[in-house]
Structure 1
Amino acid sequence: MPQYVIYRRVSTAEQGRSGHGLDAQNRDIRLYLENYSAEPFEILGEFEDHLSGKNADRPELAKALEIVRANGAELLVSKLDRLSRDVAFIATLLKDKRTKLRVASMPNADNFQLHIYAALAEQERDFISARTKAALAEAKNKGAKLGGLRDATMQRNIAVQANAKARADKVAQTVLPLRASGATLRDIADALNKSGVETARGGKWQPSQVQRVLKRLAS
C-alpha cells in the first residue's frame, strides 16, 4: 500500500495567487490521489511552510522528510517549485536513496525527468530576471522617471509582461506551426491541453488565452 507525506509551501506574496496558493496545491494533490495513486493508500502526515522557495532552512519540510525516510514513504508535492526553486537542493534530494519524491502535476515523471525539469525552470527564471532588468534599463534610457511608488509599480508591470512573454516563447514551437497550418484557436488550445502543457495559473487552455499568446509572439 503506498504511503505519502504531503508537503505544501507558499511564500507570503504567493498565498493569494491562484497558480501557487494552498487551494491550488490541495486541488493538484487531490487529483493525483484520486486518479493516479494505487489504492488503498495512506497519508502519514501533512506539513506546510510559509517561506520562500530559495530558503533552504524549512522546518516543516525537514519534519516531512524525516517521516518519509523512516517509513519508506513518498513525499507528495503539487508542483516541483513548491518543494524548492533551487536545482542543487532538488538534485541532492533526488540522489538520496532514502527519499522518494512524487509530483502531483507530473504523476509519471521519474527522477531524471524531474531533475531536467528543475534545471529548465531555473533557466527560465534567470532569463525572465535578465529580461526584466533589460526592460527597466530601456525604460530608463527612454526618459522614464524611476523612483518611489511609481518605480515599484513600473517594475512590477514590466516583470509581469516579461513573464508573460517568456511563457509565450515557451509554447511558440507548438502554437505557431498549428496556426500557420490553419488550426483554429480552439484546436490549438485542445492540442496544448492534450500534450499536458499548463497555463501560467496551472489550468486548462482556452481560445482567448491562445489568442493572447499569439499577440505576444507577434509583438
Structure 2
Amino acid sequence: MRQFVIYRRVSTEEQGRSGLGLEAQSRDVDLYLANYAETPFEVLGEFLDVTSGRDNDRPELNKALDLCRRTGAELLVAKLDRLSRRVSFIAALMDDPKVKLRVASMPNADKFQLHIYAALAEQERDFISLRTKAALAEAKARGQKLGGLRDATGKRNEAIQRDARSFAERVRPIVQPMRASGATLAQIAEALGGAGIATPRGGAWTATQVKRVLDRLDSVA
C-alpha cells in the first residue's frame, strides 16, 4: 500500500491562526490523493510549520522527514515552495535515498524537473529583489533631478520591455521544452505556478500569459 506523509507550511503566525494559505494547500493535496495516488493509500501523518520558507530549521518538517525515512512513505507537499525557497535545500533533500518527494500541483514531475523549477524560482526571487532596489534608486534619483514627462514615460516603457524579455529568458528552460513536447498553455501555466514561480507582476499564471512569453521568446530567437 502506498503511504504518504503530508507537510504544509505557512509564513506567519497570523496565517497559521487564520488558516490563510492552509485551505489552498489542503485542496491541492486532496486533489492529488483523489486523482493521482495509487489506491489504496494511507496517510501516516500530517505536519505543519509556521515559518519563512528561507528558514531550513523547521521542527515539524524534521518530524515529517524522520517518519518518511523510518517507514518509506512519500513526502507530499502542495507546492514546491511550501517545502523550501532554497534550491540547495531541495536539491539535498532529493539526493536523500530514504526520502521520496511528491508535489501535488506537479503530479508527474520527476527529480530533474523539480530541481529546474526550484532553481528558476530562486533565480526569479533574486532578480525581483534586485529590480526592487534598482526601482527605489531610480525613484530617489528622479526626486533629485526632474525630467520631462515624455522622457520619463519612454524610459519606463523601455524598462518594462527589458524586464519582460529578461523574465522570458529565465523561464525559457521550462516553457519551451514543455510546449515542444505537446503540453498545452494551461498545463505550462499550472507547472509554473506549481514551481512557485510568479508572473512578472507577482500574480498567478494563465494560458494567455504563457502565450505572451512564448511569443516574446519566438521574437528574439
Residue 167 of structure 1: CA displacement?
Answer: 11
Tell me the equivalent position of 1:154.
none
Tell me the equivalent position of 2:125.
125
1:19-44 per-residue CA deviation (whole Å, 9 max, x = no partner) reads x8111111111111111111111000
1:149-179 per-residue CA deviation (whole Å, 9 max, x = no partner) reads xxxxxxxxxxxxx9xx769944998xxxxxx
Return the letter of the residue paired with 1:34: A
Structure 2 distance, partners of 1:34, 1:47, is 20
Structure 1 distance, partners of 2:47, 2:36, is 21
TM-score (norm: length of structure 2): 0.68
5+ long unaligned stretches in structure 2: 145-159, 173-183, 214-221
Structure 2 distance, partners of 1:89, 1:166, is 29
Would you identify which runs of 4 or more consecutive aligned residues in structure 1 move more than 6 Å? 165-168, 201-204
Aligned CA RMSD, in angstroms, stands at 3.4
Q: Percent identity?
A: 65
1:121-157 per-residue CA deviation (whole Å, 9 max, x = no partner) reads 111111111111101111111118xxxxxxxxxxxxx
Q: 1:54 to 1:26 in 2, by over 3 A?
A: same
> 1:128 touches 1:166 (CA, 8 Å); kept in 2?
no
Q: 1:51 to 1:131 in 2, by over 3 A?
A: same
Residue 203 of structure 1: CA displacement?
Answer: 6.2
Return the letter of the residue paired with 2:106: M
Structure 2 distance, partners of 1:54, 1:134, is 23
Structure 2 distance, partners of 1:99, 1:87, is 16
Structure 2 distance, partners of 1:105, 1:14, is 25
Residue 116 of structure 1: CA displacement?
Answer: 1.3
> 1:47 touches 1:61 (CA, 8 Å); kept in 2?
yes
5+ long unaligned stretches in structure 1: 145-161, 174-190, 214-219
Q: 1:50 to 1:13 in 2, by over 3 A?
A: closer
Q: Kindly tell me the number of residue pairs found equivalent between the two proteins.
A: 176
Residue 56 of structure 1: CA displacement?
Answer: 1.1
TM-score (norm: length of structure 1): 0.69
